[in-house]
Amino acid sequence: MAEFNYDLVVIGAGPGGYEAAFDAVKYGMKVAVIEKDRVGGTCLNRGCVPTKTIMRSSELAKEAREGAKIGVNAADVKVDLDAVRARKDEVLDTLREGIETGLAKAKIDLLHGLALVKDEHTVSYTDREGESHEVTGKFILIATGGNPFIPPIPGAELEGVMDSTELLEQGGTPFDDFVIIGGGVIGVEFATVYNGFGSHVTVVEALDRLIPTVDKELARSLKMSLQKDGIDVLTKCPVVRIEQADGRLAVVYTEKDEEKSIPADAVLMAVGRRSDVPSLLSEQLQHLAGERGRLAVNEHYQAASPSIYGIGDAIGGIELAHTATAEGRNAVAHMNGQEPPIRMETVPTCIYSVPEIASVGISADEAKEQGIEIITKKYAMGANGKTVLEDLGRGTIKLIADADSHILLGAQLMCGRATDLVGELALAISNKLTLEDVASTIHPHPTFVEAIAEAAR
């Protein structure tokens, strides 16, 4: 491979990119990673980790305000968003330092700059000083994630209208009235955070329900739970414009063909993310970009030019950090003529609402569409001791199994610690365990996880 500078050039140092690089080194590959910003990608810098870090502060604020019911009285709870942001930055710095140390230890070259794939083996990049460089690789892996999508709504450019990246940098005190446009995962999680901070939050969604990718029953329960916590949820209400009114913002939407307005001190645009793959490809490689500007790949994550691979948000699909990581490892294995080490048929999804939502495998609706006869098992978390003593409210675990074999096919959870519990169910589904296998395994008491065994029974 002496004809190339590297065996693998990875574009993007997010979870998909840097984990793929680590795996490539284990195969004996010489690797470079090109990153235009900071290591960690969207997940670490602008997504999962900072959101969950400020969510921890939000949870503590809410618990303090509500502590009287469990015998703890905390008067005059105040939230200092400058301090919240400072802690968030400290967490991110620590994790970024760990990634950079790992890359250096693995002898992976970290190159800072904005990349352009010139041809099947050549990548140029412009560094922070504006100087252009060029490297070559036997393989190129595009792992660049995506960016917040801002829809063409009049008034979206007004001061106080933000995307999720901008919101994470907010300091000062929480907004009094906060409107979130978009009832997907990002919108719901930020609604939870700012409700915990004490803001009056309104979520406006054009579709008929929140988070259309989750089980319908869970979506209905989520809406009721948010409303119970004081969050206003408007569905089937497309936003038509944002305007200034009386020194504040006003979000104008339609409900049953009637225009209505909500006052706001700030507005979050949370309507999804878009890939920026076309900007990474030279003119001669633009044909590799498929639907919605994503890189078109086969089942091995390989583009039409076989030396170029893509993973994560760059190719679409289930746009989660752990999905990108798994795809990256499988792509590197394919480059080296090996079977994929990660099974992709069971990808857990997690939503950090209150209560949390998690799912893996298929839902009852999906089983029906596929003509699979199933049985459904449910367990109400109100009977779980750990849930009751931690005052985590109501919740449900629902298991879907094949009607004949009782092999577990899917699970949907809406309860405290759902995002931690789903891992066991992913393992059970991947290994084709039955309800009886799960039920016959001793689970510790008192714990949240024992509810899984109870559901299986």
Supply the residues annotated as catalytic. Answer: 445
| Block residue for tokens 């367990």 | 379
Q: Is 145 annotated as a binding residue?
A: no
Longest dimension (CA), the chain: 70
Annotated binding residue 150: no
The residues, any chain, with a CB within 8 Å of residue 194's CB and separated by 6 or more, are: 58, 174, 175, 178, 201
Task: Compute the radius of gyration of the chain from its Cα atoms.
Answer: 23
> What is the distance between the alpha carbons of residues 369 and 144, in angstroms, rounded to a whole number?
34
Amino acid symbol at 251: V
Closest to 141 (Cα-Cα) out of 1, 318, 302: 302
Measured between alpha carbons, how far is 457 from 451 in angstroms, rounded to an integer?
A: 10
Residue 35 labeled ligand binder: no
Tokens of 294: 């994503």
Annotated binding residue at 52? yes
Tell me if 328 is assigned to a ligand binding site.
Answer: no
Q: Is 319 annotated as a binding residue?
A: no
183 is in an annotated binding site: yes
Q: Which of 117, 112, 47 is nearest to 277 (CA)?
A: 117
Residue 2, C-beta contacts closer than 8 angstroms, at least 6 positions apart: none
182 labelled as ligand-binding?
yes
Contact 250, 243 (CB under 8 A): yes
Is 98 annotated as belonging to a binding site?
Answer: no
187 is in an annotated binding site: yes
d(C-alpha 305, C-alpha 309), whole Å: 8
Per-position DSSP letters for 66-100, written without gaps between them: TGGGGT----S----HHHHHHHHHHHHHHHHHHHH
- 204 within 8 A of 181, measured Cβ to Cβ: yes
Binding residues for NAD(+): 182-189, 205, 272
Residues tagged in the binding site annotation for FAD: 52, 313
Binding-site residues sit at 52, 182-189, 205, 272, 313
